[in-house]
Amino acid sequence: MSSTALSEAVKILREGGVIAYPTEYCFGLGCDPQNSAAVRRILKIKERAEGQGLILVAANTHQVEQYAVLLGLERQAQIQNGWPGPTTWILPVKDATPAWIHGDHQSVAMRVTAHPLVSDICLQFGGAIVSTSANRHGRPSLLGTSEVIAELGEELDLVVDGPIAATAQTQSASSIFDAISGEQLR
C-alpha cells in the first residue's frame, strides 16, 4: 500500500468514515470503534443488530489492551503466542469500551492481524479498528476489491485495494475462542 493510500485510509477513519480493506480471509469493513455514528453506519450496511457486538483488529497487544483485559488471564500466553494471526479471542471487556462495540456482552472480540496492510492501518491510526466481514449479514464474504465495490461501494468512503492474505491456514473466517473457557466458538 502506498503511503498516500495509507494516509487516505487513516484520514477517513479519523473523520468518522467507513472503509473496506483486505484481511487474512476476506474483505472487512472498518471504522473508528470510538465513533458511534461510524459503527452504527457499519451495522446498517451489514443489516446487523447492535447487540451482537463487533470484532476489533489490532496491530499489537498494546492496542488490544485499550479495549480488553489481557494481563493476568490464565490463557494469556496461549493468546499472545497465537498472534499475530487469524485467531480471534473473546476477552473480558474494559469498562471504558463503548457498548456499541461489545453489544449485549461483557466481552469483546479481538484479533492481532498478520496482514501487513491492516497492521499498517492500525499503527498509523493509533489503535484498533472495527473488523467485520464486508457483506450483508448472512451473505457470503466478499473476497476481492471489485466484489466489494459492486455490492457495497456506494455505501463506503473508501475501498482499500489489495489482496487478501489467504493461505492454507486462512481458507475460512478466523477461528474464535473464548479466553475464559478456552472453548472454540467458530
> Within a domain: residue 38?
yes
> Within a domain: residue 180?
no
**Entry pTM:** 0.93
Whichever domain contains 72, its CATH number is: 3.90.870.10
Looking at residue 186, its pLDDT comes to: 82
> Within a domain: residue 184?
no
149 exposed, middle or buried (CB, 10 Å; 0-12, 13-18, 19+)? middle
pLDDT in tens, 32-86: 999 999 999 999 999 999 999 999 999 999 999 999 999 899 999 999 998 999 8
Looking at residue 170, its pLDDT comes to: 45
| Number of separate domains in the chain | 1
> Within a domain: residue 179?
no
- Reduce the secondary structure of 144-171 to three states and give it as a string: CHHHHHHHHHHHCCEECCCCCCCCHHHC
> Within a domain: residue 80?
yes
Looking at residue 169, its pLDDT comes to: 42
Q: Mean pLDDT throughout 165-186?
A: 76
> Within a domain: residue 178?
no
Give the C-alpha separation, 2 to 117, whole Å. Answer: 10
Domain membership of residue 109 as a residue range: 3-173
Give the C-alpha separation, 116 to 1, whole Å. Answer: 9
